[in-house]
Amino acid sequence: MALVVVAEDEDDIRSLVVRMLHRAGHEVIAAADGAVALEGVRENRPDAVISDLDLPRMSGVELCRAIRTDANTADLPVILVSGSLLPGDPRAVEARATAILAKPFLPQELVACLDKALAAGHDDGVPPLTCP
């Protein structure tokens, strides 16, 4: 399946997301902040990134922007996850996120969103997908 970098600062949520993705057959690199996630992206060339919006050291929006400005990762699907990010939020559009997933979510919604983002790839001309 896919190699996914997951950026989530809440230990319980990060563990849960990692477990959900493992059960769906994906490999996961977990990071507790955006800066560590960016290192993971640069070192491992994953197939996708799932990032919380509010992270220490580098927010999910900043992480997404950094991914988009690097020619090696610009096309990487990035899913922003948040309890406060609504469809059409300008932060997700400006960061050029691939998809938005609202918290709380069910395991099948997370996996379906990842599958959708992987299938769509990243297209700068398209607004972020809304999952589920």
In this structure, what CATH number is given to the domain that contains residue 71?
3.40.50.2300
Both ends of the chain: CA-CA distance in Å? Answer: 20
pLDDT of 131 > 80? The answer is yes
Q: Rounded to 10 degrees, what is the CA torsion of 102, 95, 111, 119?
A: 140
- Residues in CB range of 123: below 8 A, 6 or more apart: none
Closest Cα partner for 32 from 17, 43, 45? 17
Expressed as residue numbers, the domain containing 27 is 3-131
Taking only the tens place, the pLDDT of each residue in 17-56 is 999 999 999 999 999 999 999 999 999 999 999 999 999 9
Please state the domain count of the chain. Answer: 1
